[in-house]
Amino acid sequence: MAELGDFLVGGSEKLKDVTIEMLDYDFLDKCTDPGLIRAIARKLKSGEEGHYPDLVKHAETRLLEELPQAERSKILRMKAEPQPDEIHEAISDLHGWEEEMARVPARPKENNSEEAHAPIWTSNATAQTHSTKTIEPPMLDARRGSDDGGLARSTGLAIEQNRTKKLNAYDFRAWERYDADKEIERLEKEELEEQRHKTEARVEAKVTVEQDRLRRATKREDQLREAGKARYQGNLSPFEKKRAAERERIKGNESFKVKEYDEAFRCYTCSLALDDSNPRVYNNRAATAHHMERFDQAEEDCTRAISLDPTFKKAWMRRGMVRHSRGKYAGSVADFTEALLLDPNDKHAKKLLEHSAAKEREVEGEAAGQMQAKFKKPGRIFIEEVDTLQEEDGEHSMVCIPTTSAAIAPPTPGNQKTLIAHGWMEVE
């Protein structure tokens, strides 16, 4: 467990000073400052004052005792050995998986024609740039890397020096003609010029970055549009397709977690292009679309997920939330009710149902006449302020639904903005 000890005494913070008197059992017992004990432990471990294995152990034990609760429990957790029942469970699970894998044939697909592969790079459009060629120096001096930016500057300097050198120190005639003011002016001008070049270069760099980003985005879109007839897809066995779809789903989830919704949406779309039988992917894409405020898409995906698996509670919940966002309160009440039928103990669903029901009454009460019209114009959103409800059971992290009066507002960006905050972190 050497590593753990290192973790215990490690850390990059500045250490307190340790004197030789402190390297002592009694001192350690009395000391209650974890920072100091950590410093002592580290000093002992460094071996500068000799080698005392028992004292090191004692210092570590003391440090553990004095650390704040959170840190201590973390270290204890890491030190903990797995429980026998945990081991048993993990291993029996693994055996189940082994059997499952054993059923996968040695060759998942017997394929006779293999013309199905991607073209060799050299033979496609990028041929000229990607053809066999030797790139000369990849081996650049390590020092150069950091200095590249300053190259322009130093070049300017070099010119300067060269010109001055042309004036021989003993060439008095030349010196007579030498006009210091003019020279300074020239230097300043050069400096300005250089500054301008630099700014231009930077602007250019920025534009390139932007162009590149655009190019990538369009490229991905194009590829997705082709996903239906994509060459890679056509050539995969159903087994491989499922696997690739699963991979795209995982990628989507990862992007979703870091709020890269555009990318997550693409990944889910790709996953669905490969295999559209998984209601969870539809539900995840719905969550993503909800975040992107593409409510139409979100509702449609929920509906697809539900049609694939009518007992899929999360899809009902999601559609309820989406419909709520769109102001379709009656629909959202129906969806939450359905979710509750599937799981009568879901506190979360209950809460959401109450909110939607209250909202529906409110809207009906205050603007009963408009209600019907609203339903015919689903694009409208009438929610202004939102509150965040924290869900206790931890499974659904957070869900935001409006609690205040239903102000009927046109769908300006500002108005819809607040609806979806940082909740919804539940893709699967």
Partner 1 sequence: MDTTDAPQMMEHIHKSITFTPNDTRWVPCSARFVVTGIHPRAKGALVVYELNKGKLKLVHERETDAGIKCCTFGASSLEDRHLACGDYNGKLAIYDLERNDVAAWSASAHKSIINAVDGLGGPESTYGAPELVTGGRDGCVRVWDPRISEPVVKLEPREGETARDCWTVAFGNAYTDEDRCLTAGYDNGDVKLFDLRTQTMRWETNVKNGVTGLDFDRNDIEMNKLVVTTLESKFRTYDMRTQHPEAGFAHLSEKAHKSTVWLARHLPQNRDLFMTGGGNGGFNLYKYHYPSSRTKNDKENIPMGVVGKVELLNSRVISSQPIVSFDWSPDREGLCCLSCLDQTVRVYIVTKLGKF
Tell me if 288 sits within 8 A of 268, measured CB to CB.
yes
Q: Which of 24, 240, 300, 366 binds partner 1 (CB under 8 A)?
A: 240
From the CB of 151, what's the least distance to partner 1, in Å?
11
Smaller CB separation from partner 1, 81 or 176: 81
For residue 395, what are the β-bridge partners?
none
Residues 318-377 that bind partner 1 (CB under 8 A): none
Q: Using the rule CB under 8 A, give the single segment among 57-65, 164-172, 201-209, 341-349 that binds partner 1.
A: 201-209
The single-letter code of the amino acid at 363 is: V
Q: Using the minimum distance from each CB to partner 1, give the nearer residue, 14 or 133.
A: 133
Write out the binding residues for partner 1, residues 93-152 only, by CB under 8 A.
94-95, 97-98, 101-102, 104, 106-109, 111, 117-122, 126, 129-140, 142, 144-145, 148-149
Q: How far is the CB of 339 from partner 1 (least distance, A)?
A: 24
Distance, CA of 323 to CA of 339 (rounded, Å): 14
Measured from the CB atom, is 79 or 186 closer to partner 1?
79
Closest CB 289 distance from partner 1, rounded Å: 20
Choose among 327, 405, 335, 333: nearest CA to 370. Answer: 327
| Amino acid symbol at 144 | R
Pick out residues in 5-24 that bind partner 1 (CB under 8 A). Answer: 6-7, 10
Q: Are 245 and 271 in contact (CB under 8 A)?
A: yes
User: Cα separation of 348 and 220, whole Å?
Assistant: 37
Beta carbon of residue 87, minimum distance to partner 1 (angstroms, whole number):
6
Q: Who contacts 308 (Cβ-Cβ below 8 Å, separation ≥6)?
A: 277, 278, 279, 282
β partners of residue 398: 390
Residue number with CB closer to partner 1 (189 or 231) = 231
| Distance between CA atoms of residues 283 and 40, nearest Å | 54
**80 binding partner 1? (CB under 8 A):** yes
# residues contacting partner 1 (CB under 8 A) = 80
Distance CA 124, CA 48 (A): 63
Query: Of residues 157, 174, 205, 214, which one binds partner 1 by CB under 8 A?
Result: 205
The CB-of-61 to partner 1 minimum distance in angstroms stands at 19
Which residue among 24, 160, 190, 254 contacts partner 1 (CB under 8 A)? 254
Cross-strand pairs, 399: 389
Q: How far is CA 144 from the centre of its chain?
A: 33
Site map 149..188 versus partner 1, x via CB under 8 A = x---------------------------------------
Stretch that binds partner 1, among 1-9, 167-175, 181-189, 342-350 (CB under 8 A): 1-9
Helices (H), 258-294: 261-274, 279-291
Task: Write down the least CB distance from residue 195 to partner 1, Å.
Answer: 11
> Which position among 223, 307, 311, 404 is part of the footprint of partner 1 (CB under 8 A)?
223
**398: enclosing H helix or E strand:** strand 398-401
- Which is nearest to 37 in space by CA: 71, 80, 81? 71
Whole-number minimum distance, CB 202 to partner 1, in Å?
A: 6
Q: Is the dihedral of CA 61, 62, 65, 67 positive or negative?
A: negative
